[in-house]
Amino acid sequence: MKIYFILYSIAFILSMGFFLLCEQNFSIRPLQYVFSILGIVCVFHSRKTSSQGLKDSWLVNTWILLMLGVFLFTTAYAFRSFHINGVDFSIFEWMLVNKPHSHYLHSAIYNVNHFGIHPSWILLPLIPIYQIFASPWVLLIIGATVVWLAGLALFHQGNIHGLTKWDSLILATGFWLSAFAGRLIQQGFRIESFYPLAIILFLHSFETKSLYYIFFAALFCLSIKEDAPLFVAPVLLLESYRKQSYHYLLLGLFSLGFLVIQIKYLQPYFLGSTYISPPYLKFWGHLGSNLNQILWSAFSDPIEICLDILNSSWWTIYLPFLGLPLISLRSTVCILLPMLVLGSASSHSQMHTYQSYYPVPLFAALCWAMIEIYPYFQRPGRYKIWQVACILSPIWHSGWITWRAPNHTLLHEVAIVRSKIQQVAPTLQVCAQPVLFPHLGTDINLQLLDKNCHNAILAPHADPFPLQSNQIDWLVKYNQNIYPSEQLVVIPHIQQPNLWKSLLQKTFAKTINKTKNGHKKA
């Protein structure tokens, strides 16, 4: 496999050089197709060796560091090309900024304390870092790095469990270049970026038989999001049965209790007087309008739930590894409840069809399963099947890495407007498209562009989400542009506000509901 990684490394370096030279959008998908074929050829023309010599370590280390460079490079240019939307990114940035101030963990996008939507305790250690280095680049670097660390963990765990270093590297590469990892790093940062690393460490912890490792790995998972117990509890209960350990049983029950406490008590507490039912419950709106109705409908009509799950795209998560992870009981149990949750959410197409970031934790569990099932594929005929499955895993699904040309003009214009607002009216409430939020910074009073806006900053040629292009065009057409620019429009006072409100009264309500319910662009 040495020639495979040498040529792949050269191809990546030349591709990044070509992109920097021409600054034209570049997708790595053609590279994946070519090197999938080359990888299969190498598999059937190479022998299995227990390890490679020290002379090959440079290649392994070079590839690992190259993948980190590719992740940071991809995230940076997604940001500079205005392909990172504030709805997905600025939620967390504003939470970190507002921690020490009166607006505790407040999100300008949702206009609520976001811990009331998704309690994400893992963000708390990032607060002091962000107070020192208050820049969106902090989250961009963290988001790319933690996803890369998940692949690095796979590599090291593969070595521990008897995989050759080439096989460990093939598996890690299958994760790094997968569509699922690509979706995360091209969205800049989101709390789910921590899931792959946490899931892989949690599943590995049972191999160490260390209660401390298992405990802290479980806490790592539970600190990410309120739905983490769906992954953690079933595995702990399974291991408590298999190993007759009351420690696993207690930890499993604790994780389930933590789920109940967060949903029933902590989320209402953080929302305070603004408390509403969690917006994501509308993903299961066909079953009821609140959690009790949804659970009652699910238990009273299990046939409908089963049909929803069977009609979902659950099988697509197994495609990247040709279904081989089904052999692993631990990983299957880990993703069983989340698969039931995703499959039953037929009111939300992206969840039901396993799009966007939703299946990323499941894919991480399947990657770890490839380590667990490795001993079953040590016979000569089976061994190459395992290798081929890992090599082909990146070519499945959409979401592959694409480097996008930076928008220098818009970057320059946004920087000038931000500077002027900071100097002249830093407390003035300004509405902006979410795509501009990460670039305008957190030291001005930003608000989501809506029907109540009086001041607006627009980029008509950029992503209009959550509004529509015709609504942005209307604002530009009927209002005075006081800032002479090519791509940015600044409206100091919206003219004909009644017409503006009338135009948005119906469409905006629907759009905002979709925003809060997670209907974001993939």
Which structure tokens are listed for 400?
Answer: 């592959």
3-state secondary structure of 492: coil
Written as six digits, the tokens of 422 are: 């900071």
Which of 509, 506, 409 lies closest to 460 in space, CA to CA? 409
Residue 192: Cβ within 10 Å count = 22
Closest to 145 in 3D by CA, of 69, 82, 228, 59: 69
Phi-psi region of 343 (alpha: psi -120 to 50; beta: other; left: phi over 0): alpha
DSSP designation for 111: T
For residues 336 and 232, the answer to whether their CB atoms sit within 8 Å is: no
Q: For each successive 10 residues of the chain (522 residues), what is the average pLDDT?
A: 91 94 91 92 74 70 96 95 86 76 63 80 89 88 96 95 92 94 90 94 91 94 93 93 90 93 85 64 73 78 81 85 90 86 73 83 93 89 90 88 91 87 79 88 80 77 80 73 67 59 49 41 36
Distance (Å, rounded) from C-alpha 239 to C-alpha 252?
Answer: 10
pTM to 2 decimal places: 0.88
pLDDT of 516: 39
State the pLDDT at residue 484. Answer: 56
The token pair at 407 is 């928008």
Q: Which among 513, 21, 247, 295 is positioned nearest to 255, based on CA atoms? A: 247
Helix (H, G, I), strand (E, B) or coil at 223: coil
Tokens of 420: 């002027």
